[in-house]
Amino acid sequence: MISYKGQWLKLSPVAIIYFAVQFVKDVGNNLIYLLPAIFVGYNQFSENAVTIVSGLAALLVLVVISALLKFYFYQYRLTEGRVQIHSGVFQKKHIDLPFERIQNVRFEQPIFYRPSHHVCMLLDTAGSNKLEAKIIALPKDTADALKREILSYKAQEVKTTENDEPQTEHEQLLNSRSIKDLIMHGLASNRIWIVLGALAPFFNSLSEKFIEGVENMGVDVDALMESSQYAFWQYFLFFLSIAFVVIAVMALISVLGSVITFYDFKLTRSNDRYIRRNGLFTRHEVVMKLSRLQMIVCQQNWLDKALKRVNLKFEQLGAGLERQSAGTSGGKIMVPSVTLEQANTLASDAWPENQLKTIKYHPVSKRLAVRNTLIAFWLLVPLSIALTYYEQTELALASVTLFVLATLLIILGWKRWGYAIKDDFIYLRKGLIGVNYRCFPIHKIQQTQLHQSWFMRRFRLCSVKFVLACGGQTLPFIKKPTGEKLVDTSLHQVEALKRSWM
């Protein structure tokens, strides 16, 4: 047990670096919006070097002072069954968190904590993200002891009659990822497009810079475009090779991102707890109790399909809130690019009765495809007719082509939809070019919804939504009696079994 209980404690001095880095990060996040302005005004800046340097120096002093102050005013106390934290320089923040309200314990180990073996401990509570408590710097051993104490606290409360858990907990390795796997994950994951999307606002200034740069090297771009000395296919090849280079660079960035986030990925299990450790610079450690697991998701985009890999996700509470963070932080556990076999092993390790691998899916009504095609039709075909009328033949043709493409995708999407209910589990399959398999136990359902539009009523169809603690799962366009039976069965299982969802 921890010996310094009940006293107010100061952090280890290494936390000063943490505060400083955090401050720089915050400032950096705000400065990103100024980046184009800095680019544009670069010349003016370079003339006032002295001002810049003194400005930077002032900023540095500010960072150091703020970090020292934050360090000075931060103290924490561990008393019987609760964590108390006092922090804040001007705006004081007092957190008093009983152990039983802690849903999840996470560790973060930034690279500068590694030599001194410190970690940052994050305590998540149910509900809002704002109620998160952070103990900035704890020695690793203390943190581990505290984690064990917090996690066993509730269990002890419930089963006081039972003996304590054996002290020697042994962790069983379920899965680890090699660099090769992570490279595959980087190639297959869609981060390329996220990066492109994030760069979108800068495209204009970037391309201007690019052309400027090329022109500075002595190439006259305008002349190149206008001159008739190159054939069309040469231009085509030229742009193709540029596109290829851009995609290659993006893929490289994506691979790097994947390696940095998931480096030395290890998923272990100790009794009823899953532990995920990963990260090259900042090490993350996330602990999830098996009972908190709400849904297993197997994701495969088209590249994953080609490489025969799956991204396996263990979704727990409130995953909706953390969807933006690409599965690195937060309580969600994602095992990147596992083989189908490994995915099945992991899924059946968590829920032995689930049949994610063998289950046969029922298709949803083809009216889903019909309705979506009709929507696409009314959006695009009258448009193309109107365009033909105004003699914009090319645009009209493009609009018709778009309609054909949309129809193909709609049919593909409809084919992917599938559902199955077997024993205590509901299975959903969806996707477009990739596939997404989901599986959750019926007794974890929080709420059911049955929807019917006027169009669906005519054909005796309905959509069903199962609300779980990790978000809502919709199953569209199934026969109304089937939908009603799904809802009735779900409610019956929840209400009759009275099993806990966490």
Partner 1 sequence: MSADKFSNQSITPDDLAKVNSQQFTPISHVYVKVNLMCRLVFWLIIVSLLLILYWQPWFTLPKTIELYLPQIQLAVGILGLLSSAYGVIADKQKGYAVREHDFSYCSGVIFRSVISQPILRIQHVELKHGPIDRHFELANLEVFSAGGAMHTFAIAGLPNETARKLRSYVLTHSDIAEND
Least distance in angstroms from the C-beta of 458 to partner 1? 12
Reading phi first (left if > 0) and then psi (alpha if -120 to 50, else beta), residue 330 is in left
- According to CB under 8 A, which one of 453, 458, 460, 474 is a site residue for partner 1? 453
DSSP letter for 245, please.
H
Tokens of 183: 């490279």
420 binds partner 1 (CB under 8 A): no
What would the x/- binding string for partner 1 be over residues 268 to 307, using CB under 8 A?
----------------------------------------
Least distance in angstroms from the C-beta of 187 to partner 1? 34
**Residues 48-77 interacting with partner 1 (rule: CB under 8 A):** none
User: Strand pairing partners for 381?
Assistant: none
What would the x/- binding string for partner 1 be over residues 122 to 141, using CB under 8 A?
----x---------------
- Which residue's CB is nearer to partner 1, number 189 or number 294? 294
- Which residue's CB is nearer to partner 1, number 126 or number 408? 126
Residue pair 321/355 in contact (Cβ under 8 Å)? The answer is no
- Separation in Å, CA 213 to CA 206, 208, 209, 263, 287: 10, 8, 6, 36, 50
Which position has the token pair 């049955």?
Answer: 450
Residue pair 196/247 in contact (Cβ under 8 Å)? The answer is no
CA angle 106, 101, 439 (to 5 degrees): 65
User: Strand pairing partners for 468?
Assistant: 471
- Which residue's CB is nearer to partner 1, number 114 or number 485? 485
The amino acid occupying position 441 is P
Least distance in angstroms from the C-beta of 130 to partner 1? 13
* Rounded distance between C-alpha atoms, residue 213 and residue 465, angstroms: 54
- Which residue's CB is nearer to partner 1, number 247 or number 450? 450
- Which residue's CB is nearer to partner 1, number 434 or number 471? 471
375 binds partner 1 (CB under 8 A): no
- Which residue's CB is nearer to partner 1, number 325 or number 446? 446
- According to CB under 8 A, which one of 22, 409, 448, 479 is a site residue for partner 1? 448
- Which residue's CB is nearer to partner 1, number 317 or number 439? 317
> DSSP per residue over 320-350, as a string?
GGGGGGTTTSSS-EEEEEEEHHHHHHHHHHH
- Which residue's CB is nearer to partner 1, number 318 or number 418? 318
Rg (CA), the chain: 28
Least distance in angstroms from the C-beta of 131 to partner 1? 14
Stretch that binds partner 1, among 114-122, 199-207, 378-386, 442-450 (CB under 8 A): 442-450
* Rounded distance between C-alpha atoms, residue 488 and residue 466, angstroms: 12
Least distance in angstroms from the C-beta of 469 to partner 1? 4
Continuous H helices in 41-139? 42-47, 49-73
DSSP letter for 366, please.
T
> DSSP per residue over 386-431, as a string?
HHHHTT-HHHHHHHHHHHHHHHHHHHHHHHH-EEEEETTEEEEEEE
- Which residue's CB is nearer to partner 1, number 346 or number 428? 428
* Rounded distance between C-alpha atoms, residue 122 and residue 384, angstroms: 56
452 binds partner 1 (CB under 8 A): yes
What would the x/- binding string for partner 1 be over residues 455 to 494, using CB under 8 A?
--x---------xxx-xx-----------xx-xxx-xx-x
* Rounded distance between C-alpha atoms, residue 35 and residue 45, angstroms: 13
- Separation in Å, CA 4 to CA 1, 50, 135, 154, 425: 9, 50, 15, 22, 47
DSSP letter for 455, please.
H
- Which residue's CB is nearer to partner 1, number 69 or number 321? 321
Least distance in angstroms from the C-beta of 364 to partner 1? 18
- Which residue's CB is nearer to partner 1, number 429 or number 444? 444
* Rounded distance between C-alpha atoms, residue 257 and residue 327, angstroms: 12
Continuous H helices in 227-267? 232-262
What would the x/- binding string for partner 1 be over residues 310 to 329, using CB under 8 A?
-------xx-xx--------
- Which residue's CB is nearer to partner 1, number 187 or number 478? 478
Stretch that binds partner 1, among 212-220, 307-315, 380-388, 440-448 (CB under 8 A): 440-448
The number of residues that bind partner 1 (CB under 8 A) is 34
Least distance in angstroms from the C-beta of 393 to partner 1? 33
- According to CB under 8 A, which one of 117, 323, 451, 460 is a site residue for partner 1? 451
Q: Which residues bind partner 1 (CB under 8 A)?
A: 126, 317-318, 320-321, 445-454, 457, 467-469, 471-472, 484-485, 487-489, 491-492, 494-495, 498, 500-502
